[in-house]
Amino acid sequence: MNLKVKLFADGAEKAGMLEMYKNPMISGFTTNPTLMKKAGIMHYESFAKDILAVIKDRPISFEVFSDDFSEMEKQAMKIASWGQNVFVKIPITNTKGESSVPLAKTLSDKGVKINVTAIFTPEQVVDVLPALKNSRASNVSIFAGRIADAGVDPLPIMTKVIEMLKPYPQIELIWASPRELFNVVQADMIGCHIITATNDIIKKLPSLGKDLTEFSLDTVKMFYNDAKAAGYTI
């Protein structure tokens, strides 16, 4: 299946990131502090620079982690200095619900490539667009998977935002937090620019377009072979 949507690998395990880097289908990378904590990363800057020593030719996002906007700006400028391919992830608000739009504008005006993250509504995109309209390159990350977790269909939201971004070719929409491989198909179908995915989802890509009857037979064989290997008897 030929995909128009760009695939970004989402993770913070070095081995997994470098494995995905060898895959020509992977156009970029995203990380966040939660993924880093899960991966056992102890030294943020050392980890980032270690990855960037290898991944130099594809965009990669690293996130600020302060809750204070002045400190966020300092962190963002430092992160941006690590490489020309670095995007700085800025949450749409801090933990107090205060808007980060003024910071996004300040950084964008300084030439920093921004990835505004943790967006859930079109209204949040409306708020941040003026801050990014003069950027050389930026992303807005909508957490479609988490929107779906709330029992809300993310497709109308994503489709609406794609239309909103048409006057801004330098701003790309990221479908973040996908839950299944079909989300890649959905993102591609509606013309989303980028979708992030974990390595587990990316490794399922060969299943796309597979004949369902053949897929059914493969599944039956899997159950049979696993039961046989386990030595089950009744």
Given a contact cutoff of 8 angstroms between Cβ atoms, the answer to whether 65 and 36 are in contact is no
CA nearest neighbour of 130 among 106, 112, 158, 155: 106
Q: For 160-189, what is the HEC assignment? A: HHHHHHCCCCCEEEEECCCCCCHHHHHHHH
E strand intervals along 20-67: 26-30, 60-63
C-alpha triplet 204, 210, 213: angle, nearest 5° = 125
Which residues are designated catalytic?
Answer: 89
